[in-house]
Amino acid sequence: MSHLLSIEDLDRAGIERILDRAESFAEVSGREIKKVPALRGRTVVNLFYESSTRTSSSFELAAKRLSADVVNIRAAGSAVDKGESLRDTVQTLSAYDPAAIVIRSPHAGTAALVVPWTDAAVINAGDGKHEHPTQALLDVFTLRRRLGSLEGLNIWIVGDVTHSRVARSNILAFGGMGAKVTVAGPPTLLPRGIEQLGAAATPSLERLHEADVVYVLRMQQERMESAYIPTLREYAQRYQINSARLRPGQLLMHPGPVNRGLELSGEAIDSDVSLIGSQVQAGVAVRMAVFYELLTVPA
Amino acid sequence: MNKLFQRAGQTAELLIAGAHVLDPRSGIDGPHDVLIKHGQIAEISPPGSTGTAERTLQAHGKHLFPGFVDPHVHLRSPGQEYKEDIASGSAAAAAGGFCQIIAMPNTTPTIDALPVLESVIAQAQRSAVIPTGVLASITAGLAGAELTEMAALADAGALGFTDDGKPLTSAGMLRRALQYQRLSGGVIALHEEDPTLSGAGVMHEGPVSARLGLAGIPSVSESTFVARDAALALFEGAAMHFQHLSAKESVAALAAASKAAENLGARISGEATPHHLTLTDEAVYSLDSRFKMNPPLRAEEDRQAVIDGLRSGVIACIATDHAPHARHEKEQPFEQAPMGTTGSETAFSAIYTELVKPGVLTLELLIERITAGGALYGLEIPRIETGQTANLTLVDLEADWVVGQDGYVSRSGNCCFEGRRLNGVVELTLAAGQLVYES
């Protein structure tokens, strides 16, 4: 594999291989000196056209823990602000001969689009509402660590599926690892045809008790402004995941950042069924494993 | 008044010897010699029986058709000449076998006033390789708020009216235009789309858009406006043409309306593009912006309905919606890239390869529909008959080519068929008696 653009670039064995390696990198992250020399002398460019806290910081840390030199570019304050095209930006940065370009964009297909313009390995750190493959990997990693396997697991993804790249990558990744996936949310926020990705779709949380894992998506204020939902209040009433809706034994996940009291209640976030902290922690080890897979393993 | 404009040129003196001549309207289907004198078809006779001409072209094994007519091209002039201009766009059409084209008015500025129209016509008279007609806009600046001086524009040479690229959202405004049409004449051609349903959509809404996370344009965005506006045309007894139909519901609405029109003094017609006839939204999985156009590529069942409509005659003609864009504009993520594909150079070959060769459509039907685009604007359909002006296209159906491999005649290369191997190579085009293209 030379790029990671979509979770579909990986089959089950490929995902397992990356996660196995992530386990050993997780061990590195537990050491006092959290560094291995795998990418010494090589350069990683993080090119973020959209704001990000955990994804950008964990890619940066992952590259640094592999001893790479890291350049972080954000659209705001860069030549992009001055109207430079994506192609020109990527070709300019490629002049530094980076081993990898990590790219986040508000537009679907951006990571794939830049591949012909650079010799670097391209890693999709989120492209519009399309995909977020490393998020899917770290979510699978988190569940696998907790439960051993995803085989036969019943996973519900709840919320604004239409506008979620995490939902799309995770439906495919969870399904690929043997889980049964259901998406639930307001009918206005479940895209027509989503079932063809291999998930059941329902506007009702009535059968939420069947879930082993409840994966909650972020709800945004803008959805109310464009009439996808009447009010955030009604959304919270119908779809908020809280202790009244969760049954004992169910695990709770969220890609962050959370709107406390909207899609998730505060007590649910802080409860011991929440894996949200483990997800963030997994981010660095899994992204180290992705760099390792792309940059050191011969294709 | 002749409302087609082209540069001055020499009439052809040519003998096309032995080609398989096919013109369904004239009832010719077989090998003939076609002698062209002073740009006119002087003689159609058995192969080998014709004498000599200034130039003889041996064309055994090739097909000679009446010249194609494209009622829908974007020549981008004035204002966007970096994408295309009248010279390059008309040359691209000639290379695709077209002998007449009709240009859309969504230029910069819009062709919505006499000085703009007159300058476009003057430019066509200087540089159009083939006869070129021009539509003026229905509303000033395509803004949907004020009617243009339709009567004056028609008198000055506009063939008809359209706000193509944008829908006329206000039914009331459209009704006024249809009423005013009784004074101005000229067909009103419509790009149908309800902006409140299309929203920020960039492709057909369905499983593919769900997978890609792209905002969808539902089929009903088009079909509800087709139904609404057809009702207005029937009510006003107007002449209305629906551009680039893409959805099965739209074809059904057009079928119902054109039937009703017969009794109500209205004329309602529709066109289909080569890309909607041959491609579906599955192509968008690639996120290649060449497959981004408006209306979008739709589902297989929509494609089948458009094919059925073309076959039955509900859809009267093929139109390319040739929409050139510069490379740097299309070289962007799918959501940001502008909508449109070029089509002039590939129209015949794409449909021939994808629909005629597999037996979905007959060659006769393709020729009938790809030559009919001017009729709705009152233009005579090119025919292969003695005494007719030479509007002819010579095609080698046995030869094939890879789209884009040798570049394009158009100034832009945003062709949705790029890289495809297509059958049917246009070798020669005669338009209005002039030799306008030779490969």
pLDDT in tens, A16-51: 999 999 999 998 888 888 899 999 999 999 999 998
Global pTM reads 0.94
3-state secondary structure (DSSP) of residue A278: helix
Express each pLDDT in A115-128 by its tens digit. 999 999 999 999 99
For the segment B68-82, the average pLDDT, to the nearest whole number, is 98
State chain B's mean pLDDT as an integer. 97
Q: Which of A5, A110, A132, A188 to mutate to test the interface with B (most CBs of B within 10 A)?
A: A110
For the segment A71-86, the average pLDDT, to the nearest whole number, is 80
Query: In the 8-state DSSP scheme, what is residue B375?
Result: G
pLDDT for position B122: 98
What is the domain extent for residue B345?
67-385
pLDDT for position B261: 93
pLDDT for position A53: 87
| H-state helical runs in B336-418 | 347-351, 363-370
* Distance in angstroms between the alpha carbons of the first and the last residue of chain B: 33
**Confidence tier at B36 by pLDDT (50, 70, 90):** very high
Q: Using the beta-carbon criterion (under 8 Å), do B210 and A127 form an inter-chain contact?
A: no
Give the number of other Cβ atoms within 10 Å of residue B413's Cβ.
17
Q: Which of B321, B396, B400, B406 is catalytic?
A: B321
Helix (H), strand (E) at residue B116: helix B114-127
For the segment A176-186, the average pLDDT, to the nearest whole number, is 98
Phi, psi (degrees; rounded to nearest 5) at B16: -100, 110
Give residue ranges of A with CB < 8 Å to any B CB. 85-87, 105, 107-110, 112-113, 127-131, 163-165, 168, 191-197
For the segment B123-136, the average pLDDT, to the nearest whole number, is 98
pLDDT for position A268: 95
Exposed / middle / buried, residue A224 (Cβ in 10 Å: 0-12, 13-18, 19+): middle
Diameter of chain A measured on Cα atoms: 55
Q: Using the beta-carbon criterion (under 8 Å), do B213 and A131 form an inter-chain contact?
A: yes
**Confidence tier at A223 by pLDDT (50, 70, 90):** confident
3-state secondary structure (DSSP) of residue B345: coil
Distance of CA A187 to the CA centre of its chain: 24
Percent of chain A with pLDDT over 90: 88
Express each pLDDT in B228-237 by its tens digit. 999 999 999 9
Sign for the pseudo-dihedral over CA of A220, A224, A227, A229: positive
pLDDT for position A220: 79
For the segment A254-279, the average pLDDT, to the nearest whole number, is 94
For the segment A251-274, the average pLDDT, to the nearest whole number, is 95
DSSP B86-112: HHHHHHHHHHTTEEEEEE-S-SSS-S-
Total residues found in chain B within this entry: 439
Express each pLDDT in B138-184 by its tens digit. 999 999 999 999 999 999 999 999 999 999 999 999 999 999 999 99
pLDDT for position A77: 67
Sign for the pseudo-dihedral over CA of A9, A13, A19, A22: negative
pLDDT for position B332: 95
- B70 shares contact with chain A (CB less than 8 Å): no
Is there a domain that residue B81 lies in?
Answer: yes
pLDDT for position B48: 86
Whether the complex's predicted ipTM surpasses the cut of 0.85: yes
**pLDDT of residue A299 exceeding 60:** no
**B321 included as an active-site residue:** yes
pLDDT for position B10: 96
List the domains of chain A with CATH numbers: 7-131+283-295 (3.40.50.1370), 133-279 (3.40.50.1370)
Beta strand B40-45 with B28-37 is antiparallel
Q: How far apart are CA B166 and CA B174, in angstroms?
A: 13
**pLDDT of residue A14 exceeding 70:** yes
Tokens of A143: 């569940």
Is there a domain that residue B30 lies in?
Answer: no
Is there a domain that residue B292 lies in?
Answer: yes
For the segment B20-38, the average pLDDT, to the nearest whole number, is 97
Total residues found in chain A within this entry: 299
Is there a domain that residue B339 lies in?
Answer: yes
**Confidence tier at A164 by pLDDT (50, 70, 90):** very high
Q: Using the beta-carbon criterion (under 8 Å), do A168 and B332 form an inter-chain contact?
A: no
Is there a domain that residue B9 lies in?
Answer: no
Give the number of other Cβ atoms within 10 Å of residue B330's Cβ.
21
- B207 shares contact with chain A (CB less than 8 Å): yes
Q: How many domains does chain B have?
A: 1
The enclosing domain of B347 has a CATH number of: 3.20.20.140
